Structure 1
Amino acid sequence: MSNGNRGQVISAAGHSAPMAGAPLSTIVPQDEFLHPVADGAHYASTETSYFGFNIPDKQLNGEIYVWFHPALRVMSASVYIWRGIKRSTLACEYVNHFHFLPFPENGIADYTIAPLGLHIRVIEPLRQIELTCKDPERDVSFRLLQTAIMPPAGRPGGNHFTQAMKVEGEVTLHGETFAVDGYFSRDRSWSNERHEVSRNVPPISWMVGIFGDDLAFHVLAYDDPALGPEWAGMFPSPPPGGNLIWGYVWRDGATLPVRRAAVLTRREADGLAPRLKEMEIEDAGGKIHRIRGTIDARMPWQTWQNMNVYFCQTRWELDGRIGWGDTQDIQYNEFVRRFARF
């Protein structure tokens, strides 16, 4: 999840930094692990690791998120598992979140977060990771092997990557066991400051989809004001084409930056929850991709008190193919205050 760096790529006016279409950064094996903290680093210095799984035919989704605060020597961590549409985070089948946990002083190559019963082991950096979790009191557990289907795509400017993974294993949820055999896009960030301020910006969407070992995409963007989103004219708007922050298309063994994204979100009657994503993206090779995403499972998570994110299992359609992945619709106070219709 790009949460760890979103605040660093959005200007005070809400416009994206000039990364759209720029060359992707180089990622090295060391980026799988914790990075040195500069002397005098700000308390908001952040690293994040984000993993998950989905089982589309069960409308079941899982999110595993670890947020490191190296200057403070603490971390936050969470596991969320849910089925279908939820109106509240606590309505999820499983929620286990801790804001304040001891920092992993021995690194993150092979470590356990005891309060979560979560163990994460890097088998091969940038290629394969094993995650296990056991909560016997609540009869919840999982065992997941995540194997890369593509090289990590480094965000322009560095300090961040997103990577499509094949995910295999099983999940036990309150006595019912499910096989996992699908895909998920993981996310990692480091050496940036994540400030928990409230921003006067419209929603921004972090979207990933995987159609098979040969095809995946990632887009981080606002809706395009030219397409008439509900907030048009009520927030500072980016210049034409400036709604895209960054993204990539992985196709037939090549990773190309996205240089343009015309995105439009359709929302539920409550004015907030996303139900449909429509977009046209253009990669750096000039190829146009028209993508439609239907939300199958959804839950709101107040990542911090000044921000709410709708996590959404999304069914993507592209060139006659069906894929699956996350939509994360990030909303701040001003948007919710103006558009909520409960």
Structure 2
Amino acid sequence: MANTGKNQRSDTVSIGDVDRMPDLHGQRLSPCQPEDEFLHSPASSGHYSATETTYWGFNIPEKQLNGEIYMWFHPVLRMCSASVYIWTGIRASTLSCEYVNHYHYLPFPEDDIEAFTVADDMDLRFKVIEPLKRIAIEYRDEARNVSFSILNEAIMPPAGRPGGGHFTQAMKVTGSLNLFGETHEIDGYFSRDHSWGEERRETSRIMPPLSWIVGVADDDFAFHCCGFDDPRRNPSWAAAYPQITPENTLRWGYIFKEGEVVPVKTMSKLTHREDDGVSPTSYDLTLVDGLDRTFDITGTVEARMPWQTWQNMNVYFSQTRWEVDGKIAYGDAQDVQFNHFIHNFDKRSRDKV
């Protein structure tokens, strides 16, 4: 059920090219169709870096436990990558998580992803019950005694990034996890993400950390934003990256409240970090949406691990407890960092430029 051309993006601007990225904040969110649940045509350039991703997960906040499921499809190369990560608390490295299973090179699915088992070597199964509404995921690693079965049910319509080619969606997630013989009930929320139709080159970028942030409180409230810290809040890197201004900190985002999805038009954010200068610990965030409602949000990182999505980039995945509008929400704060930032601002480094 591949989408063979609808809503394809013609630009190939990477998320790291700040000066070339279109100004999306406050713009109307893109509509999504049921076929957007499935695989799309590659980037119109035909470049080998054309990418489609789908991202899922679950969390158990009272146990500071997070699970991440990531698929990275390469339609021109006819291969894909897949990851399952499960961890609790603060982890210093990816491999110190309770469970890590990542494959860089797997066969590309020939029959789309409506009912899809990733590979013989990775028993990760997806079944689309109702596109954009109900998706089941199962995983088994018998050798290491890890498995889970989850049902993802949408609490909101998918919020399409302005311009298309990407959506984020808050889901109710229920099921169970077997972690080395111990059973954990899963009954919470998670924000999934799907992107397509663009190049995703692995070029290292000269830019400060970029945050991908989501939070879900209940069936009636969720939020998402993507962007940089506000230089007016004096992040440590402000002088090093003058291309980041208060006007271009926000890439895009939304507020979902009481059944309505509204784009975010402005964001002011500050990321607090460990004494090492790079590891995020908490967030101060102010969002203003298209209805001129202001949301002051504070976030505390409760479970964190660093993952080199590819070798030129490190992302801190952080299960974060958000306080907003008198509610408690949970969701990921992903801090995307490149070599230039880490080399210059990691206080553990012996060599400084």
Percent identical residues: 54
Deviations 1:174-224, CA, capped at 9 Å, x for gaps: 111100000000000111110100010000100000010000000001000
**Equivalent runs, 1:109-258 vs 2, <5 Å:** 109-114=114-119, 115-258=121-264
Task: Calculate the aligned-residue CA RMSD, in Å.
Answer: 1.3
TM-score by length of 2: 0.93
Equivalent pairs counted in the alignment come to 336
Partner of 1:99: 104
The alignment status of 1:34 with 2:24, answered yes or no, reads no
* Deviation for aligned residue 1:13: 4.7
Contact 1:48–1:65 (CA<8 Å) still a contact in 2? yes
AA partner of residue 56 (structure 1): P
Which AA in structure 2 matches 1:107?
Answer: D
Given that residues 14 and 236 in structure 1 are in contact (C-alpha distance below 8 angstroms), is that contact kept between their aligned partners in structure 2?
A: no
**Separation (CA, whole Å) in 1 of partners of 2:165 and 2:209:** 23
The structure 2 residue matched to 1:288, chosen from 275, 278, 294, is 294
User: Taking structure 1 as reference, are residues 9 and 26 closer, same or farther at Cα in structure 2, changes over 3 Å only?
Assistant: farther
Q: Which residue of 1 aligns with 2:341?
A: 335
**Residue in structure 1 matched with residue 85 of structure 2 by the alignment:** 80
For 2:64 and 2:206, the matched residues in 1 are separated by 33
Gaps of 5+ in 2: 1-11, 349-353
User: 2-side partners of 1:156 and 1:169: how far apart?
Assistant: 33
1:38, 1:308 → 2: CA distance? 24
- Report the CA distance between 1:333 and its aligned residue: 0.4
Give the Cα–Cα distance (whole angstroms) in 1 for the partners of residues 176 and 62 of structure 2: 14
Distance 1:237 1:15, change over 3 A: farther
Which whole-Å deviations, capped at 9, do the CAs of 1:117-140 have from their partners, x for residues lacking one?
A: 100110000001000001010010
For residues 114-167 of structure 1, the C-alpha deviation after alignment (integer angstroms, 9 at most, x for no partner) is 322100110000001000001010010000000000000000010000000000
Would you say the 8 A contact 1:14–1:201 is kept in 2? no
Instruction: Please state how far the C-alpha of 1:240 moved relative to its aligned partner.
Output: 2.8
**Are positions 1:320 and 2:326 aligned together?**
yes
* Aligned partners of 2:14 and 2:199 also within 8 Å: no
2:42 and 2:240 map into 1 onto residues whose CA distance is: 39
Q: CA distance change for structure 1 residues 29 and 176 in 2, over 3 Å: closer, same or farther?
A: same
Report the Cα distance in structure 1 between the residues aligned to 2:32 and 2:242, rounded to whole angstroms: 33
8 Å Cα contact 1:15-1:237 kept in structure 2: no
| Dislocated runs of 4+, deviation >6 Å | none
Cα distance in 2 for residues equivalent to 1:211 and 1:39: 38
The alpha-carbon distance between structure 1 residues 13 and 145, as it changes in their structure 2 partners (threshold 3 A), is closer
Query: Distance in 1 between the 2:174 and 2:79 partners?
Result: 31
Structure 1 residue runs of 5 or longer lacking an equivalent are 1-6
The structural deviation recorded for 1:341 is: 1.8
- Whether contact under 8 Å (1:10, 1:17) holds in the other structure is no
- Report the CA distance between 1:242 and its aligned residue: 1.1
* 1:31-64 Cα distance to aligned partner (Å, 9 max, x none): 0011134676110111111000000000000000
* 2:56 counterpart letter in structure 1: F
1:319 positional shift: 1.6
Alignment correspondent of 1:8? 13
